[in-house]
Amino acid sequence: GEDVEQSLFLSVREGDSSVINCTYTDSSSTYLYWYKQEPGAGLQLLTYIFSNMDMKQDQRLTVLLNKKDKHLSLRIADTQTGDSAIYFCAETPGGSSNTGKLIFGQGTTLQVKP
Amino acid sequence: EAGVAQSPRYKIIEKRQSVAFWCNPISGHATLYWYQQILGQGPKLLIQFQNNGVVDDSQLPKDRFSAERLKGVDSTLKIQPAKLEDSAVYLCASSLFLNPGGPYNSPLHFGNGTRLTVT
């Protein structure tokens, strides 16, 4: 089946790096995504990685993918108070389940302390 | 480009009443999704449209929920009658196209959602 798991909470100091982790079960996933949700808002696409890559960097964001362990992580360098939000990991199921839909984890709340 | 528009932003109803939500996707986006996000959880897909046809409604509680996408653009999601457990944020998303089994990336773009409270 398709399942995505995340740790629920992470607290860091401003200026430190944040690492948010995610595991998934579908070995045929094609794309994996990170979305950010601020209070009262919808989900904002942050970045994504194709399943044949193991790393992608985009300014302060670094995505690492370990396909063997089905583990995805998002590193935010120089974390700012504006990064405080809920971060969702999501996968696009592969094979016959691939309809373009996303399967989301339960979200990790990132708290950034000044 | 204009984003995904949803209305209303908030709705409070009593159980057993009916409610409807509206979504206008990004212009040119063929695929439209309705997700339900219960407090403290990740979004869960209710129904997915490709143009005006249903691709996936396996998680839609069809005894009380219905959705349509007339003319392949705007969509409405209806709940009748509502239950207490329907309290959630209803998110609409759209993507450029559907490419089953293919590697082409077509990320979902979300609206701000409708927060429904059933009392």
Query: Which three-class secondary structure state does DSSP give residue A9?
Result: strand
- Closest listed residue to residue A35, CA positions, set B49, B6, B110: B110
Helix ranges (DSSP H) in A1-114: none
**Contacts for B19 with CB less than 8 Å, ≥ 6 apart:** B11, B13, B78, B79, B80, B82, B116
Core vs surface per residue A64-83: b (16+ CB within 10 A) or e: bbeeeebebbbebeebeeeb
Which H or E run includes A31?
strand A31-37
**AA identity, residue A13:** R
**Residue B117: how many CB atoms within 10 A of its CB?**
14
Structure token digits, residue B93: 């998303």
**Residue A2: how many CB atoms within 10 A of its CB?**
15
Within an 8 Å CB–CB cutoff, is residue A106 touching chain B? yes
Instruction: Name the average pLDDT for chain A.
Output: 92
* Residue A98, min C-alpha distance to chain B (Å): 5
**Nearest residue in chain B measured CA to CA from A42:** B112
The percent of residues above 70 in pLDDT, for chain A, comes to 95
Cβ contacts of A35 on chain B, cutoff 8 Å: 110
More confident residue, B86 or A26: B86
Q: What are B13-25's pLDDT values in tens digits? A: 999 999 999 999 9
pLDDT for residue B70 is more than 90 = no
| pLDDT of the residue at A31 | 87
Q: What are B6-52's pLDDT values in tens digits? A: 999 999 999 999 999 999 999 999 999 999 999 999 999 999 999 88
- Tell me whether residues A43 and B106 touch, CB distance under 8 A: no
Within an 8 Å CB–CB cutoff, is residue A102 touching chain B? yes
Query: Which three-class secondary structure state does DSSP give residue A62?
Result: strand
Which H or E run includes B117?
strand B114-118
- Tell me whether residues B56 and A106 touch, CB distance under 8 A: no
